Amino acid sequence: MPEKSFYATTPIYYVNDAPHIGHAYTSVAGDVLTRWHRQRGETAVYLTGTDEHGTKVERKAAEHDVSPQEWVDRLVEEHWRPVLETLEIANDDFIRTTEARHKRGVQHFWEVLKEKGFVYPAPFEGPYCVGCEEFKVAADLMEGTGEYEGQLVCKVHHKPVEMLSENNWFFRLSDFGDRLLEHYERNPNAVAPTSARNEVVAFIKEGLNDISMSRSSVGWGIPLPWDSDQVVYVWFDALLNYITAIGYGGDEAAEQRFAQTWPADVHLIGKDILRFHAIFWPAMLMAAELPLPKQVFAHGWLLVGGEKMSKSKLTGIAPSDITDDFGVDAFRYYFMSAIHFGSDGSFSWEDMRDRYSAELANGLGNLASRSAAMIGKYFEGRLPEPGAYTNMDLALQDRLATVADSADAHMVKLNFSAGIAAIREFVEEVNGYVTTQEPWKLARDPEQRNRLATVLYTVAESLRAIAVLYAPVMPGICEELWQSLGAAETAGALADQNVRQVADWGVLRPGATITKTPPLFPRLEEDKA
């Protein structure tokens, strides 16, 4: 059997409205991670998609006087798929919970659990948050204020919960508390960061109660195969996307694909859905006797005005609001570099503008522009043959090897900001090298022709490595840089370059045509004179 693919997923996004940059943040992180693994020479599978069932969708469709299917079809095609294209997300699959393959897999899964005795009928009465699509416990609620004074409200949405009374089917979650604690004791990195793991372990130690896995008062969902009056509770439908998308419950070929891909190497999620992914989901898999994901990584929230980004609070910013001004690559760069993945982070227009100007336009963009301009001016646009390397040249080569190792170590651990910082520091060092070597002065002395060639070759070869290292973060810009260096003729496609071999020196072929492109990062409008 071929080697197992690296498998990463985003949560499937709830389609009651259009996406904002909080959704884009997770999608970009997954894309950067899987692109990085591909550039390590690995096979990678990246899954994203949409969660289309439940009360919120049912009610939102009714508000717009359309069927739930019409509503989700419109949102997916007009908003959710297009934003992936806009952000250059290279996902391998897009799963929708209204697809036949998903419905088939979900019904098969719950039939298996029913046959194993993990599902039983019982009445349910308690609080439910439609915004979270979640049954709540007392710790999840708080006293309302203002218009909701005297009512219990959800701590996440700050809106009143609804009291439900239904006859549903329950999953025996209480059977798995000890097994989950044992799993997290043996696998301390199975939930990350550490704060998230501690939260999960503490919740389990408080004791797990069985939970309703179906709804009798909701019509928009996947029917239980043994009880057509009930639909699968939206979370126990949605979580299964991670396996239905890769073949679970399908034909023989699909099952082979499932065996090749599962378990997931990482589920990327927001911290507000940690309980579902680190308690309910592994318990479900244990019940089905399926392997558990290797890691659930709960990143922090993007904050606006100190609050979690939210369409309902009018703080949701559309990705296009930013990409129209800064470009897609700068969008990807900023959110992966400015915020430590795993912590909350505040978005600031001013901070993004400052970083764009200092780190991209005046950093990488200026280096690429100066290099191409000098090779064009002094060597008629042909990459010169380097002469003997000095200690300073060799030190830069050694530094590249260190940076490549550091960036790789950080990126595979999802420490994107540290990985990008290592690459950015190398860009700054190459800019410093240019300033120190002063090639414009060398060009005035015919006897320094060989030294000038060596300096400019060193800069170009450094840019070749930078293009490879930054490609998972800024694929569009790095492709432009790759082509301008004539690297495609020498080394092949940028996507085929291995980040673990990027420090091998001398890849660019002397004599290759170096082309000066328009600025990789144009000056922003208000910065122009």
Q: Residues with catalytic annotation? A: 20, 23, 129, 132, 154, 157, 308, 311
What does the alpha-carbon distance between residue 462 and residue 205 come to, in Å, rounded to a whole number? 52
Burial class (CB in 10 A: 0-12, 13-18, 19+), 396: buried
428: phi then psi, degrees, rounded to nearest 5: -65, -35
What does the alpha-carbon distance between residue 439 and residue 449 come to, in Å, rounded to a whole number? 10
| Sequence letter at residue 528 | K
Residues with Cβ within 8 Å of residue 487, at least 6 apart in sequence: 464, 467, 494, 507, 508, 512
Neighbours of 78 (CB within 10 A): 10
Report CA-CA distances (Å) from 267 to 394, 461, 478. 41, 36, 27
Q: 474 and 481 in contact (C-beta within 8 Å)?
A: no
What does the alpha-carbon distance between residue 319 and residue 85 come to, in Å, rounded to a whole number? 12
Q: What is the dihedral of CA 241, 243, 248, 252, to 10 degrees?
A: 120
What does the alpha-carbon distance between residue 350 and residue 233 come to, in Å, rounded to a whole number? 43
Cis status of the peptide bond prior to 223, with omega within 30 of 0: no
What does the alpha-carbon distance between residue 416 and residue 393 come to, in Å, rounded to a whole number? 28
What does the alpha-carbon distance between residue 8 and residue 197 come to, in Å, rounded to a whole number? 19
Neighbours of 380 (CB within 10 A): 10
Residues with Cβ within 8 Å of residue 416, at least 6 apart in sequence: 29, 32, 33, 336, 337, 341, 410, 473
Residues with Cβ within 8 Å of residue 310, at least 6 apart in sequence: 316
Per DSSP, which regions of 356-403 are E strands?
A: none
Under DSSP, is residue 213 helix (H, G, I), strand (E, B) or coil? coil
Q: Give 167's strand partners.
A: 123
> From edge to edge, which strands make up the β-sheet containing 211-212?
134-135, 119-129, 162-171, 211-212
